[in-house]
Chains A and B, each alone.
Chain A
Amino acid sequence: MAKILIVDDAEFLRMRISKMLTAEGYEIVEADNGAKAVELYNQVHPDVVMMDITMPEMDGLTALKHIKALDPKAKVIMLTALGQESVVLEAIKSGARDFVVKPFERERVLGAISKLLA
């Protein structure tokens, strides 16, 4: 069972993704900011991380760098929104493997995850 870490400060969003992925049989772990995500990554070693960019405490980009430092093979998908083009590029350069744009379609999220798990 693949484990997915969902990182977003928005609870509603986390709930939506979590529901969607649980229905597909994934095991879900959640964090509501970047710092917690890094800590959890170290503890639960998720197969894929889906992480928001804009978050309090520690933003997604910083968390991504920390996670990549912990585990260079970490598979991180950034959750992003319109208007974040340059941040997304930086995320990819920092080792993010993919990004999905909010509001996202189910297929897009599932596709991105299954690609990384393939």
Chain B
Amino acid sequence: MELRFDIEKEELPIFMAESDEQFQLLDDGMVQLEREGENPDLLQSLFRAAHTLKGAAGMIGHKRMVALTHALETAMDGLRKNSYPVSTSLIDLCLEATDALRNLRGEILTLQPAPVDVDGLVARFNAFVAQATGAAAAPAAETKQTVQAVVPTAASAEAASQTVFKVEAEISPTSIASAARAFQLVLALQDVGVIQTQSPTQAEIDSAKPVQKFSATFQSSQTYEEIYKLLDMVSEVNKLTLQQVSGPDTLEKPTAPLPALDKPAEVVETARVPQAAAPAVPAGASAAAAPKVALEKTVRTSVERLDNLMNLVGELITDRNRLYQLRNSLDARFRNDDHVETLSETVNHIGRITDQLQKEVMSIRMLPVGNVFSKFPRMVRDLANKFGKKVDLVIEGEDTEMDRSVIEEINDPLIHTLRNAVDHGIERPEVRLAAGKPERARVLLAARYEQGRIIITVEDDGKGIDGEKIKASAVQKGFLSEAEAAVMSEDEAVNLIFASGFSTASTLSDISGRGVGLDIVRNNIQRLNGSIMVETWKGQGTRFQLSLPLTLAIVPTLLVRVREMTMAIPLVTVLETLRIAKSDIQTVNARPVIILRKKVLPLVSLASTFELEKEDYSARQHYVVVVGSGKLQMGLMVDRLLGQEEVVVKSLGSLIGEVHGIASAAILGDGQVILIVDVQDLFRMSGLQHAMTG
């Protein structure tokens, strides 16, 4: 069975984005609520989130979502009104409902019923509210509102010339606020005259109890038609009768009471021609045009368009580089030529504009990291509960902006790092208390800029990483010989956590386990041209620090020549460049190495690696680019160093697919297509990763 919703394709993105926002608000708010207890502002915003979701779901006819959001809203309303306190069981139920709502929302895309037991959840909400309010003291008697009686205030002198009318109205039983409709009728009557009697009384109306029938007698100097028209303005009145009871002037009134006009239940047709009926001048305003204000300062646009824009700017940068080269050669050949000079100026200008354009487009693509961070409080809460730990996640710098492409990629590494902190870093509450620490642990997730890069910190105040334990585990797993372990420094030992296939947890928990280790985290971060670092203090905590580029689209590289090819090495991995002589090359374990500042540096020939040509180690001199990945270093042998250049990254495309040792491609200013090497992959290919100490 296919579901149907009243929503058009172009409306979908807004519905999705808005509901995402509300889900996020609910997730975060619930977690905060559990921690802080009844906070009126927070409760209000949670109520509003449920309310907004209900409204949107109602608009598209998603009944199951409406039912569940209504239950959630009611639960929040009870909290708001202090009918019951915040409890973990309620928060759990609310979070479960939020997850269920996410699933239900998915139905709009899949058009297939999601396996969500809405009735069950609603029943649990009802049971909770019933039980919670039953347990609380009997509900206080409804506070009676002070009521002001309808006082006939009109000048009695006029009364003599007035007609007495009787009005009877039936208010639609489906109206949600029939008392308000009755009140509107009262207001209308007060507008045209003086009420003599009315039913229900004003006090009854004020109590907001439903009103089905309203009747009143009143005096008015206005005509029957005028009064009828005014009363007819009130919506949701199914039946309206107006009768003239008595009047001063029999000539002006009909000889018999007018037949009661039955008001049609349907809405008037004038709805179709509003412009004709609209007054030209708004009430209370002058006809002078009011200054236009900037109404909406933001525009939503598709990610695809931004990507296209970025691609075009990339092409433009390539052309700009080509123009620069052309200008240089023209300059060299036709110096002092007027045309060449003008051309040169124009090229410079285009260059500047292109730079600005690139910055602007980049800034459009920037998103606050809060977009990723926002879902972590909920995740950390669930994890902490699961492990029987008490953890507060503190988030800082969520406004720090970075490119959308990077944001998308850091999600998984961050999830894993946080899981790692909760699972391995933080002790159980009783252990913490015994160690004289606060029962609740604190995990800090912070972002900040530093030298054109983003630094993300995940810091816990847990037990720290025990280097000796890591060593023992590494020896047991065969990563390390006992002799190696004996001479290994504490720092090096701690960094073993990034070695592939390494895990210190004796049993893999389903959270930190699942085949994803910190090695994968490191690889993913490095793939983004980023780095990850760990610092730890025994008994006090651990800090992971991720350093990431602001964007992935443009990479500063070192261009090198390898035989007939130009290749680019991401600058972030480059430590230094060397020129070595044949005699510097030694052989250790059948591998060419050099001794650099008393340390062994393995050499890897790019020509051999990419099977261009076998490396000729007998050449008189070689150029070496020293690259690093974490604690590992190696020297890449190249034929020539060409210089630094910012290149616009182009994916290799699905036809070529993944090539070992190559990250992506780029087009240079002279139109040359080059390859960007994947340094992490080179380490893997060279087998250096397991030879920890080189």
Q: Determine if B284 and A72 form an interchain contact, defined as CB atoms under 8 angstroms apart.
A: yes
Q: Determine if B180 and A1 form an interchain contact, defined as CB atoms under 8 angstroms apart.
A: no
B184 within 8 A of A: yes
Chain A neighbourhood of B293, CB < 8 A: 39-40, 43-44
Contact with A along B460-492 (1 / 0, CB 8 A): 000000000000000000000000000000000
Report A48 CB to chain B, min CB distance, Å. 9
Report B50 CB to chain A, min CB distance, Å. 10
Report A64 CB to chain B, min CB distance, Å. 13
Q: Which of the residues B17, B180, B275, B277 comes within 8 Å of A92, measured between beta carbons?
A: B180
Q: Which of the residues A3, A55, A88, A111 comes within 8 Å of B176, measured between beta carbons?
A: A88
Interface size on B, residues (CB 8 A): 57
Q: Which of the residues A29, A46, A56, A102 comes within 8 Å of B59, measured between beta carbons?
A: A102
Chain A neighbourhood of B296, CB < 8 A: 30
**Contacts A1-B278, A30-B295: A92 and B290 contacting too (C-beta < 8 A)?**
no
Q: Determine if A74 and B283 form an interchain contact, defined as CB atoms under 8 angstroms apart.
A: yes
Q: Determine if B55 and A81 form an interchain contact, defined as CB atoms under 8 angstroms apart.
A: yes
Q: Determine if B235 and A98 form an interchain contact, defined as CB atoms under 8 angstroms apart.
A: yes
**Contacts A89-B183, A111-B235: A12 and B15 contacting too (C-beta < 8 A)?**
yes
Contact with B along A98-118 (1 / 0, CB 8 A): 111111000110111111111
Q: Determine if A89 and B11 form an interchain contact, defined as CB atoms under 8 angstroms apart.
A: no
Chain B neighbourhood of A39, CB < 8 A: 293
Interface stretch of the complex, out of B123-131, B218-226, B265-273, B683-691: B265-273
Chain B neighbourhood of A100, CB < 8 A: 235
Contact with B along A12-39 (1 / 0, CB 8 A): 1101100000001110011100000001
Q: Which residues of B contact A (CB under 8 A)?
A: 11, 14-15, 17-19, 45, 47-48, 51-52, 54-56, 58-59, 61, 66, 70, 73-74, 77, 175-177, 179-180, 183-184, 187, 205-206, 208, 233-235, 267-268, 270-275, 277-279, 282-285, 290-293, 295-296
Chain B neighbourhood of A103, CB < 8 A: 55, 58-59, 61, 66
Q: Determine if B271 and A114 form an interchain contact, defined as CB atoms under 8 angstroms apart.
A: yes
Q: Determine if B176 and A80 form an interchain contact, defined as CB atoms under 8 angstroms apart.
A: yes
**Contacts A80-B177, A81-B51, A89-B208: A16 and B59 contacting too (C-beta < 8 A)?**
yes
**Contacts A2-B275, A12-B11, A26-B274: A115 and B180 contacting too (C-beta < 8 A)?**
no
Report B25 CB to chain A, min CB distance, Å. 10
Chain B neighbourhood of A45, CB < 8 A: 282, 284-285, 290
Q: Which of the residues B58, B277, B291 comes within 8 Å of A102, measured between beta carbons?
A: B58
Q: Which of the residues B18, B272, B279, B285 comes within 8 Å of A11, measured between beta carbons?
A: B18
Q: Which of the residues A15, A91, A107 comes within 8 Å of B11, measured between beta carbons?
A: A15
Interface bin, chain A: 35 or more
Q: Determine if B56 and A117 form an interchain contact, defined as CB atoms under 8 angstroms apart.
A: no
Residue in chain A with minimal CB distance to B57: A103
Q: How far is the CA of A97 from the CA of B51 in the complex (A)?
A: 23
Chain B neighbourhood of A11, CB < 8 A: 14, 17-18
Q: Interface SS of chain A: helix, strand, loop or mixed?
A: mixed
What 9 A-B pairs have minimum CB-CB distances, sorted nearest first? A103-B58, A45-B285, A2-B278, A111-B267, A71-B284, A73-B283, A88-B177, A110-B271, A45-B282
Q: Determine if A2 and B176 form an interchain contact, defined as CB atoms under 8 angstroms apart.
A: no
Contact with B along A77-100 (1 / 0, CB 8 A): 000111111101101110001111
Q: Determine if B176 and A85 form an interchain contact, defined as CB atoms under 8 angstroms apart.
A: yes
Residue in chain B with minimal CB distance to A45: B285
Q: Determine if A117 and B268 form an interchain contact, defined as CB atoms under 8 angstroms apart.
A: no
Residue in chain A with minimal CB distance to B51: A54
Report B108 CB to chain A, min CB distance, Å. 12
Q: Determine if B56 and A10 form an interchain contact, defined as CB atoms under 8 angstroms apart.
A: yes
9 new A-B contacts, CB < 8 A, other than A74-B283, A103-B66, A114-B274, are A12-B59, A25-B275, A81-B55, A89-B208, A92-B184, A103-B59, A113-B271, A117-B278, A117-B279
Residue in chain B with minimal CB distance to A30: B295
Q: Determine if B15 and A54 form an interchain contact, defined as CB atoms under 8 angstroms apart.
A: no
Q: Determine if B55 and A71 form an interchain contact, defined as CB atoms under 8 angstroms apart.
A: no
Q: How far is the CA of A116 from the CA of B272 in the complex (A)?
A: 14
Question: Can you list 10 A-B pairs with a CB-CB distance of less than 8 A?
Answer: A10-B56, A13-B52, A45-B282, A45-B290, A73-B283, A89-B179, A91-B180, A107-B267, A113-B271, A114-B268
**Contacts A12-B14, A12-B18, A101-B176: A92 and B274 contacting too (C-beta < 8 A)?**
no
Report B502 CB to chain A, min CB distance, Å. 47
Q: Determine if B284 and A73 form an interchain contact, defined as CB atoms under 8 angstroms apart.
A: yes
Q: Determine if A82 and B176 form an interchain contact, defined as CB atoms under 8 angstroms apart.
A: yes
Chain B neighbourhood of A114, CB < 8 A: 268, 270-271, 273-274, 277
Q: Determine if A56 and B48 form an interchain contact, defined as CB atoms under 8 angstroms apart.
A: yes
Q: How far is the CA of A92 from the CA of B206 in the complex (A)?
A: 11
Chain A neighbourhood of B277, CB < 8 A: 114, 117-118
Chain B neighbourhood of A71, CB < 8 A: 283-285
Report B49 CB to chain A, min CB distance, Å. 10
**Contacts A56-B48, A75-B283: A47 and B180 contacting too (C-beta < 8 A)?**
no
Chain B neighbourhood of A56, CB < 8 A: 45, 48
Residue in chain A with minimal CB distance to B44: A56
**Contacts A45-B282, A89-B183: A83 and B267 contacting too (C-beta < 8 A)?**
no
Q: Determine if A12 and B56 form an interchain contact, defined as CB atoms under 8 angstroms apart.
A: yes
